[in-house]
Copies of this chain bind each other. A is one copy, B any other.
Amino acid sequence: MTDKIRVALVGATGVAGQQFLAALPDHPLFQVVKLAASERSAGKRYLDALRDPGGALRWWCREPLPAEYAGMVLADAACMSTEGIDLVFTAVESDAARALEPRFAQHVPVVSTASAYRYDPDVPVFLPAVNMDHTRLIDTQRRRRGWKGYITPGPNCTTTGLAITLKPILDRFGLEKVMMTSLQSCSGAGRSPGVIGLDIIDNIIPYIPKEEEKVEQETRKILGSIVQHGADVAVVPLSLSVSCTCTRVPVIEGHTEAVYCATSRPAPIAEVKQAMEEFGAELRRLNLPSMPAQLIYVHDDPFRPQPRLDRDCGKGMTTVVGRLRPETTLGTHGVKYVLVSHNTKMGAATGAILIAEYLTQTGYVR
């Protein structure tokens, strides 16, 4: 036990924080030694902090609340020390992340689900198997900021499924343009208050503030290349035209996205399918605990993927694709498809854990 990486989870009570805790019991590499939350919850036992004023236990995961965390007393994130901690996971809102993460990163690596630092030039936005070479940014970040640790946020939950399915297309056929309409689940909006029932039952909300800009910008960065600038490296974003419409639908979990791609070269459906299904083979060789058998699964059944049926594929770590067919309106060549991605697992907590596993195996943690 003492050999495991000692982990602190900051933002433990939110939807994403809970997904971390649902995934971390008995983890072979990580041991949760500290939970932190906002001042309002600090000092309470985790179980008590989850109760709302009426007494309801606000635990959303399908997995039961692990007994080992229920009694842990929450630290106040604002003054949490990193003493005795090897790695910090943060699952807080962007404003809180902006204030907290640099303080932790002075001492230890911070793997984050927040957007605060995603767009800084020396901050990598890792997506498993897509851009592990961006680790080289870490050294630049450390040097520039004089930190012992560093910050690595994961992508927005809507970017995750898009970028992971675009990467094998980019590698094999080249990518010119991407259009995407998302049908996003309610869990993505969190709990305070998130999307209220009165708004979403029998309804669609056609706008999620800032979401489209995030998806467009992050996709280009994630798919970008590392270039050397003197002692430092930088990411050159992929030159890719991306256009999105992001909507909210009455679905609990699992983001659905209708994607249209124009490719540089002809992209026969069978080859695209093969490229997607083989994607991630190299990363799989590292035997990371949270790595699913397939990063992308492709359905032939035209009625799939469906969020309720497919979100839990690969324990929520596999992006499920269907309706793969030629797309010739957007460009000369291309494909269109529908994907489902679990927004609070691969798109948030478990995705961050998988990145942390990679960073641990490759020597970037402790």
Contacts and interface: CB of A to CB of B under 8 A. Distances in A.
Interface of A: 15, 54-57, 60, 62, 177-179, 181, 183, 186-187, 189, 191-207, 209, 241-243, 245, 247, 249-252, 256, 258, 260, 301-309, 312, 322-323, 327-330, 336, 338
Given A195-B196, A207-B322, 7 more contacts: A55-B303, A186-B198, A200-B201, A204-B256, A245-B336, A245-B338, A250-B250
Contacts of A251: 201-204, 250
A243 B330 contact: yes
Given A247-B258, A328-B241, A329-B179, A305 B206 contact: yes
Contacts of A309: 62, 203
Pairs A-B, 10 closest by C-beta atoms = A193-B193, A243-B329, A181-B181, A56-B303, A186-B197, A245-B258, A203-B308, A206-B338, A241-B329, A202-B202
Contacts of A202: 201-202, 250-252, 307-308
Contacts of A304: 57, 206
B201 A196 contact: no
A243 B335 CA distance: 11
Contact of A183 (B183, B241, B323): B183
A207 B308 contact: no
